[in-house]
Amino acid sequence: MRLESPEYLYLLLLIPLLALFFLYTQKQKKDRLAKFGNIRLLEKLSLTHSKSKEYTRMVLIIGAVFFMILTMSRPQFGTKLQTLHRKGVDVFIALDTSKSMLAEDIKPTRLQKAKHLLSNLIDQLKGDRIGIIAFAGDSFIQCPLTLDYGAAKLFLDILDTETIPLPGTAIAGAIEKSTKSFITRELKYKVLVLLTDGEDHQGEPVKAAEEAEKQGIIIHTIGFGSANGAPIPIKDQNGVVTGYKKDRMGNVIMSKLDETTLEKIALVTGGNYYRASTGELEVKALAEEIKGMEKKEHQSKKFAQYEERFQYPLLICLILLLLSTFLKEGRTVKSEWKGRFEV
């Protein structure tokens, strides 16, 4: 058993207050009767007074309040199985986490912009399984394919340039990793969204894309950066820029967006290339592309759900209130006394 709204249990503090209030009113009655004479004698002579019924009514009313509070807390117990049917495609998102993504030609940085864009994309997808692959000099699955978009966002939030210690940008490796990570063997229903500045330091990304196309994978690419390039800042623990990354000759490295490579990757797989923009219109266009694809029904997901049981305490509450309402105030007069008053 569980309570959906346990905060209402604080109202149980009203019960002792009600009991104290009842006892206080009883005392007030006694004090008023004492002014007219002996209390016990007056109570015996009064046909409208029954101390036992007054206490019974108090118990009924307090019990009704208790069960009303329990009703408001929404008790739930017992479970039922529900089947969730969804249609969609499998979408792997490969995010470049190399040092070049720290360049600030896109504010606040290329990487932060890419993460925000991805979060926006996830919000627009419906029924598609999502997985996340992080890559730099190497690549690994940060989040396997899932329908739990909240979990995917949590994995996305913790990605940074320290996620993969091996430096570099191996786009080909990321494509190969995603190709192997798709669960199904159908030659459709599979999408890879590649987010990077396009600077590939090893491998042959276009050839890797050609192999992915043979597996029915459509690759959409999103480029981050500018053609002129930007330096890669080096920051201390406080986030203050202390310098810029340099090559072996001591020259500041300018990280440039390689749109040509990203366009070729998208072209050979039937996908599209988008350049990251401030308004993020590319997210809407990409989401529409994915929504327009042929869908497949994902494996049904069964889950247990607690059933609402507030009806039972509510019914008890109503019964107690009715009993307290119909309970007569007067005490029962015994037949022997009744006979004495008969004419």
Residue 80, strand partner residues: 305
pLDDT of residue 114: 94
- Which one, of 125, 170, 111, lies nearest residue 293 by Cα? 125
Averaged confidence pLDDT in the chain:
83
Overall domain count for the chain? 2
d(Cα 7, Cα 39) in Å, to the nearest integer?
44
70 and 99 co-located in one domain: no
Residues 205 and 124 in one domain: yes
Question: Is residue 132 situated within a structural domain?
Answer: yes
Q: What is the reported pLDDT for 269?
A: 95
CATH number at residue 194: 3.40.50.410
Q: What is the DSSP letter of 298?
A: P
Summarised one tens digit per residue, pLDDT across range 130-159 is 999 999 989 989 999 988 899 999 999 999
Whether residue 143 sits in one domain with residue 54: no
257 & 126 share domain: yes
8 Å CB contact between 318 and 111? no
Question: Of the candidates 300, 302, 296, 281, which has an alpha carbon nearest to the alpha carbon of residue 124?
Answer: 281
Say whether pLDDT at 315 is over 80: yes
Q: Tell me phi and psi for residue 116, to 5 degrees.
A: -65, -40
* Joined tokens for residue 287: 């989401």
Q: What percent of the chain has pLDDT over 70?
A: 83
pLDDT higher than threshold 50 for residue 297: yes
Is residue 302 a part of any domain in this protein? no
Number of alpha carbons in the 13 Å side-chain half-sphere of residue 106: 28
140: in domain: yes
Decide if 123 is inside a domain: yes
| Residue 293 and residue 331 in one domain | no
Degrees to nearest 5, angle at CA 21 with 19 and 26? 95
Beta strands in the chain (DSSP E): 2-3, 75-84, 87-88, 90-96, 129-135, 139-146, 190-196, 217-223, 230-231, 233-235, 241-244, 254-255, 273-275, 296-297, 301-308
Q: If you search the block for the tokens 């210690």, which residue do you land on?
A: 165
Binning the chain into helix, strand and coil, the percentages to the nearest 5 are 45, 20, 35
